[in-house]
């Protein structure tokens, strides 16, 4: 159950951040996952870090600059506070479906999902019928990484925060992320996303992530077949604007280390640009 919860968390945030807008290509950015935020009355600078959420252990990395940034901060801020018992309870509930997939999906959707599931995991619909669609997505996406030993960035940051007695906070809740996914995609569209994904795309995504090339990440994940105006609004724009409204208060109180999906960093509606527009100085922390 614990691994299933980790997968649900990771695939949800990965899925929510995997799509971008074409306009995001217009703003070139330096190759860096770690960005320092200062100015605009802040007594101490804070940091924003872009994660991939989950990745094969062999590809997992955290730079010394990132470790120092986290260790010097008073609070770790994630998309969801994964240390909050209420959030953990919500995640546990998200693993299981309210009703079987065979009753939620149409016969066509079941057939399509069955084909993807069998091809990627070797499992049948009957074996996962009691799980939520998000959980099934988790199993399929995890397989796309092509390894058995996945590591989770948020979990690693939480362990480091505990070690250095750093508090943990969240920008939104598990329920709100599930609601975002529900508003952004129909069941058929989510199955379509799984049909379009493949190992080559994931490997390319991981390579660009290891190169810290967030601009190229946007370009590689922008696909007209996978997004429309509705998904752009719910997946990125609204969430980024909500977070930028919350971050000033958090950064005024103390130095914070904000770790969110890398897709939230770039573009006109990305956190970097929105914070600059709000009067902050945002610059990359280069190796």
Instruction: Say if CB 169 and CB 75 are below 8 A apart.
Output: yes
Residue closest to 169 by CA, chosen among 238, 89, 259: 259
Domain that holds residue 174: 2-284
Phi, psi angles (nearest 5°) of residue 79: -60, -45
Residue 282, beta-bridge partner list: 37
Instruction: Say if CB 42 and CB 256 are below 8 A apart.
Output: no
Q: How far apart are CA 216 and CA 198, in angstroms?
A: 18
Over its C-alpha atoms, the chain yields an Rg (Å, rounded) of 18
Q: Is residue 36 scored above 70 in pLDDT?
A: yes
Predicted confidence (pLDDT) per residue in 124-175, tens digit: 999 999 999 988 988 888 888 889 899 999 999 999 999 999 999 999 999 9
Q: Is residue 212 scored above 60 in pLDDT?
A: yes
Q: Is residue 97 scored above 80 in pLDDT?
A: yes
Q: How crowded is residue 267: how many other Cβ atoms within 10 Å of its Cβ?
A: 27
Q: How confident is residue 24, by pLDDT bands cut at 50, 70 and 90?
A: very low
Q: How far apart are CA 202 and CA 150, in angstroms?
A: 14
Number of domains in the chain: 1
pLDDT at residue number 85: 95
- Enumerate residues 6+ apart whose C-beta is below 8 A from 7: 54, 135, 138, 139, 142
pTM over 0.85: yes
The mean pLDDT of 89-113, rounded to a whole number, is 92
Q: How confident is residue 198, by pLDDT bands cut at 50, 70 and 90?
A: low
Predicted confidence (pLDDT) per residue in 241-280, tens digit: 999 999 999 999 999 999 998 888 988 888 999 999 999 9
Residue closest to 256 by CA, chosen among 174, 159, 163, 168: 168
The mean pLDDT of 175-200, rounded to a whole number, is 83
The more confident residue out of 55 and 263 is: 55
Q: How far apart are CA 226 and CA 263, in angstroms?
A: 15
The more confident residue out of 20 and 261 is: 261
The mean pLDDT of 227-232, rounded to a whole number, is 64
The more confident residue out of 141 and 49 is: 49
């Amino acid at each position: 159950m614990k691994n299933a919860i980790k997968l649900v968390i990771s695939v949800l945030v990965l899925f929510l951040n995997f799509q971008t807008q074409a306009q995001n290509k217009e703003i070139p950015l330096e190759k860096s996952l770690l960005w320092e935020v200062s100015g605009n009355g802040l007594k101490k600078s804070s940091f924003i870090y872009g994660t991939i959420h989950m990745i094969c252990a062999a590809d997992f990395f955290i730079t010394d600059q990132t470790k120092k940034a986290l260790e010097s901060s008073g609070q770790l801020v994630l998309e969801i506070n994964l240390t909050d018992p209420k959030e953990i309870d919500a995640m546990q509930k998200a693993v299981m479906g309210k009703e079987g997939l065979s009753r939620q999906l149409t016969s066509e959707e079941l057939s399509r999902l069955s084909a993807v599931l069998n091809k990627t995991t070797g499992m049948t619909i009957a074996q996962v019928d009691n799980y939520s669609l998000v959980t099934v997505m988790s199993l399929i996406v995890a397989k796309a990484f092509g390894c058995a030993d996945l590591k989770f960035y948020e979990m690693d940051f939480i362990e480091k925060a505990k070690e250095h007695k750093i508090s943990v906070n969240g920008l939104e809740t598990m329920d709100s992320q599930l609601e975002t996914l529900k508003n952004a995609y129909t069941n058929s569209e989510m199955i379509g996303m799984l049909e379009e994904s493949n190992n080559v795309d994931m490997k390319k995504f991981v390579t660009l992530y290891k190169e810290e090339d967030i601009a190229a990440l946007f370009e590689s994940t922008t696909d007209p077949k996978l997004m429309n105006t509705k998904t752009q609004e719910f997946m990125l724009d609204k969430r980024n604007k909500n977070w930028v409204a919350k971050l000033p208060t958090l950064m005024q109180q103390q130095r914070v280390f904000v770790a969110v999906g890398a897709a939230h960093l770039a573009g006109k509606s990305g956190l970097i640009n929105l914070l600059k527009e709000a009067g902050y100085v945002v610059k990359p922390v280069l190796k």
